[in-house]
């Protein structure tokens, strides 16, 4: 099943080509990362997927339907970057209003509000007004709003921007908990965060699709990211190249090497590494399976 298909998608604003001939296919499943520098076109892509704006060229199908169509009501929802709550109404009453707009009757809407507030751990704040909530709590209310009706696709535009680490972690946990039933597409500048959540990454730059790749390694090869505490890095480089099954060794920081190797069933490479460290009396900080998202995108 294809979740989203964009063909030759372009969006021209009066003075700016925000999206330039983007074609991509996304499948349902684990969260998908949408990455790119400021002005790359991420919010524009979200707005097109929601049907808020129309493309200048090209087409979009979401589960076979056009964005904004009736068939997608309750199926796709979004947390906009600048989502705001109405200061005059309690959290429960405004969520209930949105549930009723989606077609829930009054009784079911009230139940749905209880359900989504539980999902974001804000049941106790149902009768609060937005002014009494912290920034992180407000963000979670907006996520609760996006979860009304258990949509199949949820677009989150910078869901953790400006949040303290504890609140950001809570939001990541909400996404993890729901990832089995909903496909999240998450735009963020925080690559570490996306790496923890996503299997697939779309990279936009100046409106063009630069990459649409799996973060997981290919079938035949794998990666280890090695961070050292104390060692002779040049000597280590030579030693790594001599190990069995190693294909390539790339230095990716002062103390870091990314090792690409032929996949094996056991832990042969890890064992070899530990033997080398032991022999040379070198200390390591981390042996990470795979490579960072930053390394995947920019190496």
Residue of 4, 9, 26, 36 that binds ligand ATP (CB under 6 A):
36
- Residue of 4, 6, 18, 113 that binds ligand ATP (CB under 6 A): 18
Nearer to ligand ATP, 41 or 130 (CB): 41
Contact flag: residue 55 with ligand ATP (CB under 6 A): no
Nearer to ligand ATP, 209 or 249 (CB): 209
Yes or no: say if 257 and 194 are a contact pair by the CB < 8 Å rule: no
Stretch of 12-20, 101-109, 140-148, 264-272 lying at the interface with ligand ATP (CB under 6 A): 12-20
- The interface region with ligand ATP, picked from 40-48, 105-113, 263-271, 286-294 by CB under 6 A, is 40-48
13 binds ligand ATP (CB under 6 A): yes
Contact (Cβ atoms closer than 8 angstroms) between residue 37 and residue 210: no
188 near ligand ATP, judged by CB under 6 A:
no
Contact segment (CB under 6 A) with ligand ATP among 32-40, 83-91, 127-135, 258-266 equals 32-40
Per CB under 6 A, the list member of 9, 44, 201, 276 interacting with ligand ATP is 44
Q: Decide if residue 235 touches ligand ATP (CB under 6 A).
A: no
Which one of 35-43, 161-169, 215-223, 280-288 is the stretch in contact with ligand ATP (CB under 6 A)?
35-43
Q: How far apart are CA 153 and CA 28, in angstroms?
A: 8
38 binds ligand ATP (CB under 6 A): yes
Among 26, 31, 32, 42, contact with ligand ATP (rule: CB under 6 A): 42
6 binds ligand ATP (CB under 6 A): no
DSSP string, 130-149: GGGS-HHHHHHHHHHHHHTT
Q: Contact at 8 Å (CB) between 226 and 57?
A: no
Residue 172 interacts with ligand ATP (CB under 6 A)? no
**Interaction of residue 41 with ligand ATP, rule CB under 6 A:** yes
First to last CA, the chain: 31
Does residue 58 interact with ligand ATP by CB under 6 A?
Answer: no
DSSP string, the chain: --SEEEEEEEEEETTEEEEEEEEEEE-SSS-EEEE-STTSSHHHHHHHHHTSS--SEEEEEETTB-TT-GGGTTTEEEE-TT----TTS-HHHHHHHHHHHTT--HHHHHHHHHHHHHHTT-GGGTT--GGGS-HHHHHHHHHHHHHTT--SEEEEESTTTT--HHHHHHHHHHHHHHTTT-EEEEE-S-HHHHHHH-SEEEEEETTEEEEEEESS--SSEEEEEEEEEES-HHHHHHHHHTSTTEEEEEEEETTEEEEEEE--SSSHHHHHHHHHHHHHT-EEEEEEES--HHHHHH-
For the bound state, the minimum distance from the C-beta of residue 107 to ligand ATP, rounded and expressed in Å, comes to 39
Stretch that binds ligand ATP, among 33-41, 113-121, 229-237, 268-276 (CB under 6 A): 33-41
Q: Which one, 110 or 139, has the nearer CB to ligand ATP?
A: 139
Q: Among 31, 35, 43, 194, which residue sits at the site for ligand ATP (rule: CB under 6 A)?
A: 43
Cβ proximity to ligand ATP: between 103 and 162 the closer is: 162
Chain residues binding ligand ATP by CB under 6 A are 13, 16, 18, 36, 38-44
């Amino acid at each position: 099943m294809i979740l989203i298909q964009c063909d030759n998608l372009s969006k021209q604003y009066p003075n700016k080509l925000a999206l330039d001939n983007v074609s991509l296919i996304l499948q349902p499943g684990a969260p998908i990362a949408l990455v790119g520098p400021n002005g790359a076109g991420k919010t524009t892509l979200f707005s097109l997927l929601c049907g808020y704006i129309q493309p200048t060229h090209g087409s979009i199908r979401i589960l076979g339907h056009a964005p904004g169509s009736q068939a997608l009501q309750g199926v796709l929802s979004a947390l906009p970057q600048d989502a705001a709550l109405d200061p005059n109404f309690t959290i429960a009453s405004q969520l209930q209003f949105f549930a009723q707009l989606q077609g829930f009757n009054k009784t079911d809407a009230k139940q749905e509000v209880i359900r989504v507030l539980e999902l974001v751990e804000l049941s106790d704040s149902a009768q609060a007004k937005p002014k009494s909530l912290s920034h992180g709590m407000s963000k979670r209310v907006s996520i609760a709003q996006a979860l009304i009706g258990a949509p199949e696709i949820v677009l989150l535009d910078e869901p953790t921007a400006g949040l303290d680490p504890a609140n950001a972690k809570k939001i990541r946990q909400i996404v993890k908990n729901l990832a089995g039933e909903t496909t999240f597409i998450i735009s963020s500048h925080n690559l570490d965060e996306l790496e923890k959540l996503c299997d697939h990454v779309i990279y936009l730059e100046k409106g063009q699709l630069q990459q649409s790749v799996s973060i997981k390694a290919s079938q035949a090869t794998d990666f280890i990211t090695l961070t050292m505490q104390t060692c002779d890095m040049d000597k280590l480089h030579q030693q790594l190249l001599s190990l069995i099954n190693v294909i390539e060794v790339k230095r990716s920081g002062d103390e870091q090497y990314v090792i690409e190797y032929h996949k094996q069933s056991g832990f042969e490479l890890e064992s070899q590494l530990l033997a080398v460290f032991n022999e040379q009396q070198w200390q390591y900080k981390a042996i990470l399976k795979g490579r960072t998202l930053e390394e995947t995108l920019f190496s």
